[in-house]
Each structure stands twice: as C-alpha cells, then as structure tokens.
C-alpha cells in the first residue's frame, strides 16, 4: 500500500506545479498583450495613448499653462537600446539594486523628494506636426565634462520647448576622461552619465536612427549608408551643412519664449532678447555646433539664458531639469556608500566638504595655497571637524595646513566602494558626496564646483552654508541673492532652484541687482545709445564696442526695428 500512496503524493505535487505554471504563463501573456507597442523612440501616455505624437501630447497651441498633465511611460529608442546593449558598460549595472546601496541612498535621490505631482508638459508655444517632424542635433562642448553637461541641459530644454526630437551625438573621447572602459575604448556618450531614454515629454534618438529618418523625410541630402561611413567628426561637419545654425551668443543674447515679463530686463542683464522666430520655427533641422573659433559655443546655464514669460512654465522647466537630467542612479548608489562612511566617522552624522581645483583651471586668483584656504575656513569650520576634500591636487603636502586643524578625507580613502567603477565616473560621484556637507567650500570659476552648489540647492541646504575660498570678494557670494550676471557660467545661481516648487499662481522669482552689475549696465546703455545715434550702429555687449553686426544692448533693442523683428514682441507669441 505504500507504493500507491507515494504515487498519489507525487501526482498531487505535480498537479500543483502544472497549475502554477499555467497561471504564470497566462499572467505573462496578459501583461505582454497589454503593453503599448509604439514606434522606436516614441512615448505614449497610459491614459491617452492616441494623443501622443513624437513623445509629446498632440494638442493645439495654447497661450497659458501647460494644458493637460499626464503620466506616461517612455519606450527607449530601439537603436539606442541596441547600441547600449552591444557596448559593455563602463560601470556596474545601469541601475544598481537598491539593496546593494547604503541607507543614505534614498535620501540622495533629490528628484524623488519633490512634493510636485508627476507631470509632463508639452510645449505651449509650438504645435507638433506629425507629418513633418523636426529635429535638433548638437555637438558636445570641447571643454571638460561639466561644460558639456551645461550645454546639454540648455539644448535639451530648447528641444522640449520647441517640440523637436533631440538627436544624441555619437560617442567620442571626452576631455580629461581618459580611462579605457570595459569595452576597450575611450569613447563616451551622454547616456553613459544620464538616464536620457527616459526624459519625459521629449523624444530622444541616436545619430544612426536620425540619419535614416532624416533621409527618408527629405531633411538630409545623402543616404545613411554613405554618412555612416564617416567618422564622428565628419558626421558633425556634414550636419553643419544641412541644418540651420543659430548664432546666438549666451553672453550677448537672452532667449525669450512668450514675450516680456516684469523681470525680463533684469534677467537679460543688458543682453538683447531673441525669440524663436519663424525662420527657426519652420526649419526641419536645427544644428547647434560647438566651435568657439567659428563663434559657436553654448557655455551657459539654461536658466540664465532661456526665459519663459509665464512663471509656471519657467518653473516647470527648472523642475524638468532637476528631476530628469540627473546622474544615473548607479552613481548615487556608490556615492551613498561614501556618504554613509563619512556620517559614521563623524560621530554626529555631519561633516563638511571642499572642492579645491588645482589642475588646468586658468584663473590665477583662485590658485592660492593651503594656508589661505585654511584662513578662509576658520570662521565657519570647527577644529577637529571631519572634512571631505574633492580635488585634483596630487600632493597631500598641499593640504598640510588644513590637516593640522581638521580631519581630512579624500576619495582614495574609500576605494573599497569603487570596485568595478571606471575612474571616468569618479568626478560625478565626488560631486554628489561634496553636496552633502554641513558647509561646502568651493572653487570660484569652476563649473565642477558650480554643479555641487546647484545640487545643494536641490537638496535644500541653506545658501549661507556655501562659501568660496577665493577670490576674497567672492567668499560670501551665496550669502545674498542677486540676479545672475555676466559671464554667468563662473558659478551657479539660486534662480535655478529657489521657488521652483511654488504654486502655479506664484509670480516669478525676483532679487536685487548687485552694484557692480548696475554700474556696468548704465555704462553699456549710454554707449549703446551713442552707437545708435551717431553711426546707426549696433552694440556688442561682450566687447562693449559699437558694431556693424546685428547686435544690440537690451535698451536700444526696444527701439531698433531690426532687433525687434527677432523677438517675440514682434508678434510671435
């Protein structure tokens, strides 16, 4: 009797296994058949799948607000996805398991801390024509990574605001990021650093896909098979001949969407306003070169160059950059382990941070010795305080004056947390760590320091806990709020983070104009009027001289027909 019982028991368990397998198969089939199947790179809304075209809601052009706010999923462009799968990652998995991160990991994800509901906005200024898609291509800045990041943020905002598909430039070696990846190459691209395929409301495709689309849509004159044989540099030279190239200089112009607001004058800081007029609106392809010798470079902050007339829209784009153009989660995971170690070492959970740039920065006024940095810090750091220093200085002897008073730590003290991570990503990890300091002391003029200060703004640290160690007149630059001033890129400004989660009905951010800028604006304004009256000439706010080119000061632009034709005040709103 034992044998039949054993058979019955086995049959019973076999039946359970079969039932479970059938249930799992049915569930898998259900989820598969209910996915939205979309064309490569196209985004669709869960709630309104038929209203989405090229990643943006296909709705009429409006003058106020965003229209409908929708949640949606993003489908990664098939060619971009294939490209990333075929390249071995230069870091650990693109999205580390949160269980492998420290307890500090969730607190570092500032984009998850916002109380603003999940939102997606289409451009309120341009209607999207699904039969005539338009594109933006761009070249990577020739400077360091943070210069590249700044230009990328700016161009991404322009692509979203103008309803265009953004095309990623091909991978290439980046300045100072010289370490060879797991694939044996030095080539890097923006999706290595940012979660680009998941940018809400913006379709992003790679260059290969664009070459095929562009030729089939009549935008590009040559077939993709011919262009794909070119090097990355030659591809950019080809696009130089195919697209409309805006010769907008961030130090001379301010980009205005929707017309003037009560603070446009303060925002433009003497620059003349430029609108996205019909010549740019109608262009199927706009190409943004990065060629300083030819006069093309977009080294600026998106929020100091691009202005949206309506406060709610202006704040939306600042949140969009904050919440979506952040470093990949895996970098925050690694940084969280270092932060957790520092908090544990400090005893009370707090530590202070520095960024001390010593390498190729050309500004002599910030090339000071360790004793001067120590003297600056005496007023706000406590003796014996634990301090993390992000630096490119190789000699620890440089920091001896600081080491005699503080407990210093460097990235090299935490190499156990960097196993398997390419050194190409160390800088980004250090920025996240340095942003966590009770106080932060940075290097003026450095865009690396600049991004740390912006991250601190996103995290909610008080501005008066941020300092520079030099020059002396900039040490307390963050302790009073002022409008951004030329040349803008030397630091970040509270305009990027202050009030960006305010209600839609709130007015624009406002601040005072510092005395130095006010005096400069008066001098430039008087000179610009003289140029216009005496010679009928324009005015170059960069050089401070009269010019025969179509360039103006903000004040004279309001009276100059040639300048007004290029602005939204000329009737394009």
Given 288, 320, 352, the domain boundary residue is 320
* pLDDT at position 103: 85
Distance from CA of residue 442 to its chain's centroid?
20
Whether residue 468 is predicted with pLDDT greater than 80 in this model: the reply is yes
- Give the model's confidence band at 99: pLDDT under 50 very low, under 70 low, under 90 confident, else very high: low
Identify the domain boundary among 262, 286, 320.
Answer: 320
Q: Are residues 294 and 372 in the same domain?
A: no
- The reply to whether 295 and 440 lie within a common domain is no
Residue 15 pLDDT > 50: yes
Q: What is the structure's pLDDT at 67?
A: 28
Residue 127 falls inside a structural domain = yes
Q: Which residues are CB-contacts of 565 (< 8 A; sequence separation ≥ 6)? A: 277
How far apart CA 277 and CA 53 sit, in angstroms, is 23
Q: Which residues contact 370 (CB under 8 A, 6 or more apart)?
A: 398, 399, 400, 401, 402
Q: 407 φ, ψ to 5°?
A: -90, 110
In terms of domains, do 341 and 276 share one? Answer: no
362 pLDDT above the threshold of 90: no
Q: In 417-496, at which residue ranges do the beta strands (DSSP E only) sit?
A: 440-442, 466-468
Mean pLDDT, all residues of the chain: 82
Digit-coded pLDDT (tens) for 526-573: 999 999 888 788 899 999 999 988 888 998 887 777 776 655 433 222
- Which of 133, 195, 215 has its CA nearest to residue 166? 133
**% of the chain with per-residue pLDDT over 70:** 78
**Concatenated DSSP letters for 67-106?**
S----EE-PPPHHHHHHHHHSPPSSS-SS--GGGS-TTHH
Q: Is residue 167 part of a domain?
A: yes
pLDDT at 559: 79
The predicted structure's pLDDT at residue 38: 27
Number of domains in the chain: 3
pLDDT of residue 42: 27
Q: Is residue 97 over pLDDT 60?
A: no
Residue 515 lies in a domain: no
Asked whether residue 335 falls in the same domain as residue 380, the answer is: yes
Same domain, 279 and 333: no
Q: What confidence score (pLDDT) does residue 201 get?
A: 86
Distance CA 400, CA 443 (A): 18
Same domain (yes/no): 534, 473: no
Phi, psi dihedral angles at 238 (to 5 degrees): -65, -45
On the question of pLDDT at 78 being above 50, the answer is no
Q: At what angle do helices 207-216 and 78-86 cross, to 10 degrees?
A: 150
Are residues 472 and 341 part of one domain? yes
Residue pLDDT, tens place only, 236-272: 999 999 999 998 999 999 999 988 899 999 999 999 9
Does residue 57 lie in a domain region?
no
CATH of the domain at 339: 3.40.50.11350
Least confident of 4-18, 386-400, 474-488: 4-18
**266 plus 125 within the same structural domain:** yes
Predicted confidence at residue 84, as pLDDT, reads 45
Range 510-524 average pLDDT? 94
Render pLDDT for 211-236 as a digit per residue (tens, 0 to 9).
999 998 899 998 888 888 888 889 99
Model confidence band, residue 6 (pLDDT cutoffs 50, 70, 90): low
**pLDDT digit string, tens, across residues 310-352:** 999 999 999 999 999 999 999 999 999 999 999 999 987 899 9
Q: How confident is the model at residue 565, as a pLDDT?
A: 60
Tell me what pLDDT residue 411 has. Answer: 98
pLDDT tens by residue, 138-190: 999 999 999 999 999 999 999 999 999 999 999 999 998 988 766 667 899 99
Which H/E stretch holds residue 171? none
- Domain end among 275, 294, 320: 320
Residues 268 and 335 grouped into a single domain: no
Domain extent, residue 421, equals 329-479
Q: Do the domain assignments include residue 27?
A: no
What is the CB neighbour count within 10 angstroms for residue 6? 10
Same domain, 181 and 257: yes
- 363 falls within a domain: yes
- The pLDDT of residue 394 is 94
Say if 19 falls within a structural domain.
Answer: no
Mean pLDDT, rounded, for 41-50: 27
Domain contains 386: yes
Q: How many beta carbons lie within 10 A of that of residue 268, not counting itself? A: 25
> Is residue 438 pLDDT above 70, yes or no?
yes
- Considering the domain architecture, whether residues 147 and 231 belong to the same structural domain is answered as yes
C-alpha to C-alpha distance for 76 and 206, rounded to whole angstroms = 11
Residues 286 and 368 placed together within one structural domain of the fold: no
């Amino acid at each position: 009797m034992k044998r039949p019982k054993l058979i019955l028991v086995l049959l019973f368990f076999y039946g359970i296994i079969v039932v479970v397998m059938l249930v799992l198969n049915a569930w898998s089939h259900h989820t598969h058949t209910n996915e939205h199947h979309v064309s490569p790179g196209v985004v669709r809304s869960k709630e309104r799948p038929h209203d989405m075209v090229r990643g943006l809601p296909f709705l009429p052009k409006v003058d106020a607000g965003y229209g409908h706010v929708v949640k949606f999923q993003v489908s990664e462009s098939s060619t971009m996805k294939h490209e990333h799968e075929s390249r071995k990652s230069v870091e650990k998995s693109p999205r580390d398991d949160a269980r492998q991160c420290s307890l500090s990991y969730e607190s570092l994800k500032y984009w998850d801390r916002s109380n603003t509901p999940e939102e997606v906005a289409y451009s309120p200024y341009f209607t999207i024509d699904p039969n005539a898609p338009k594109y933006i291509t761009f070249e990577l800045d020739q400077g360091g990574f943070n210069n590249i990041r700044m230009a990328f943020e700016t161009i991404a905002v322009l692509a979203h605001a103008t309803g265009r598909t953004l095309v990623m430039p091909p991978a290439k070696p980046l300045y100072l990021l010289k370490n060879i990846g797991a694939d044996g190459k030095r080539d890097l691209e923006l999706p290595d650093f940012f979660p680009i395929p998941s940018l809400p409301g913006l379709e992003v495709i790679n260059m290969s896909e664009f070459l095929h689309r562009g030729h089939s849509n009549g935008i590009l004159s040559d077939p993709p098979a011919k262009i794909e044989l070119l090097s990355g540099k030659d591809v950019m030279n080809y696009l130089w001949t195919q697209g409309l190239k805006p010769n907008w200089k961030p130090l001379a112009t301010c980009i205005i969407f929707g017309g003037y607001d009560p603070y446009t004058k303060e925002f433009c800081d003497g620059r003349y306003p430029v609108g996205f007029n019909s010549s740019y609106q109608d262009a199927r392809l706009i190409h943004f070169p990065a060629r300083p010798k030819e006069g093309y470079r977009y080294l600026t902050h998106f929020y100091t160059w691009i202005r949206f007339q309506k406060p709610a829209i202006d704040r939306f784009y600042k949140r969009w950059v904050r919440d979506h153009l952040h470093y990949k989660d895996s970098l925050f995971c690694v940084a969280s382990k270092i932060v957790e170690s520092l908090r544990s070492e400090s005893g009370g959970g707090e530590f202070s941070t520095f960024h001390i740039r010593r390498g190729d920065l050309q500004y002599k006024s910030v090339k000071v010795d360790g004793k001067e940095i120590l003297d600056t810090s005496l007023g706000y750091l406590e003796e014996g305080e634990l301090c993390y220093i992000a630096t490119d200085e190789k000699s620890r002897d440089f920091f001896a004056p600081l080491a005699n008073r503080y407990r210093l730590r460097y990235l090299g003290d935490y190499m156990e947390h960097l196993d398997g991570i390419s050194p190409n990503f160390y800088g980004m990890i250090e920025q996240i760590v340095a942003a966590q300091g009770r106080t932060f002391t940075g290097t003026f003029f450095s865009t690396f320091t600049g991004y740390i200060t912006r991250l601190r703004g996103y995290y909610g640290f008080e501005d008066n806990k941020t300092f520079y160690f030099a020059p002396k007149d900039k040490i307390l630059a963050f302790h009073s709020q002022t409008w951004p001033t030329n040349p803008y890129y030397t630091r970040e400004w509270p305009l990027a983070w202050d009030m960006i989660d305010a209600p839609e009905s709130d007015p624009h951010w406002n601040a005072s104009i510092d005395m130095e800028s006010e005096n400069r604006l008066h001098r430039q304004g008087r000179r610009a009027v003289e140029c216009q009256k005496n010679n009928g000439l324009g005015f170059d706010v960069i050089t401070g001289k009269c010019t025969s080119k179509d360039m103006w000061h903000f004040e004279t632009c309001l009276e100059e027909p040639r300048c007004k034709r290029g602005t939204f005040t000329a009737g394009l709103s």
